[in-house]
Amino acid sequence: DTAVSQTPKYLVTQMGNDKSIKCEQNLGHDTMYWYKQDSKKFLKIMFSYNNKELIINETVPNRFSPKSPDKAHLNLHINSLELGDSAVYFCASSQDVPNYGYTFGSGTRLTVV
């Protein structure tokens, strides 16, 4: 059984479109995250939710809006997509604070053309 699953795996879309990425975890973790990995493999946190409450909101354009309907799900909606949004987006989860690491999903490769 997949612990952290994201859909879709690949997303190719035109500039200006709106798209969503979904994430679900079956680990019973309290905290979920969205990370962005650029072409140089650098992972940067975007958002974090703990028990459905937004606790980290990094300097991310407000075109990006996370939503956590319950503590097992965290979705990411992106409005007015730009070329610079092309990256791999990873969902992750941890049991409360991530001192002992995250469990990552397999990523969503977003390409904006």
From the list 13, 19, 56, 60, which residue makes contact with another protein (rule: CB under 8 A)? Answer: 56
- Output 97 or 113, the one with its CB closest to another protein: 97
- 12 neighbors 113 (Cβ within 8 angstroms): yes
The reply to whether 99 sits near another protein by the rule CB under 8 A is yes
Indicate whether 68 belongs to the interface with another protein (CB under 8 A).
Answer: no
Q: How far apart are CA 54 and CA 50, in angstroms?
A: 7
Check binding of 57 to another protein (CB under 8 A): no
Residue 91 has which token pair? 């969902």
Residues that bind another protein (CB under 8 A): 4, 31, 33, 40-45, 48, 50, 55-56, 90, 92, 97-107, 109
